[in-house]
Amino acid sequence: MTDLNEVLDMVPVGDIAKKLGIPDDVAEAAVKQVLPGLIGGLAANASTSSGSAALEKALSSHTSTPKSVDDIDTQDGAKIVKHVFGDNTDKVAAKLADGEPKPNVTMDIIKQILPIVAPIVLSFIATQMMAPKTTAAPATKKKTTTPASTGGDLGGMLGGLLSDPNTQQMIGGLLGGLLGGGTK
């Protein structure tokens, strides 16, 4: 099962801290707030057939994982954030900042981190969706490896990332009706 820690491990938190001129612990706390919010927004958008198709299309152009902040196209990240949250981006950023007990995690920091983290999240999802799956074949045949399909697996993948009870509480309580406000 995939969890948010796997995504967090891909985020160059130290690079983000340097780029934004903030302490590493503040950058890490902000990233930990951003990840479930962003994935929750993607899940809300993917809950419709048109939103799912748009996300699948976006995944095809995010197959390589950025290694540093310099490798990230933040203009693309801003487009992703706008697509996911639409006109609710500022409200979502404010709620995400309010949900973090560190007083230095501000709405402004969240808004700066969202377009940095968004391409990483899409890259992670693309990598997971395109990874070969091993399936058990009938007893007379060997196991076979086939590429994962994106269809119904996309919702399961996003749901798996959000399955932690603490994450569900944040998504449901903190962000509530704001998710799904993007262009589907």
* Tens digit of each residue's pLDDT, the chain (184 residues): 456 788 889 999 999 999 999 999 999 999 998 998 898 888 888 888 888 888 888 888 888 888 889 999 999 999 999 999 989 999 999 988 887 777 789 999 999 999 999 999 999 888 887 765 555 445 554 444 433 333 446 655 565 555 555 455 445 444 455 554 444 4
* Cβ pair 123, 63 in contact under 8 A: yes
Q: What angle do CA 5, 178, 23 make, to 5 degrees?
A: 45
What are the residue boundaries of the structural domains of the chain, listed by start?
Answer: 4-178
Closest CA to 101 of 49, 6, 30: 30
| pTM recorded for the entire structure | 0.76
Q: How far is CA 151 from CA 41, 52, 110, in A?
A: 18, 8, 31
Place of tokens 């058990």: 136
- Measured between its terminal Cα atoms, the distance across the chain in Å is 27
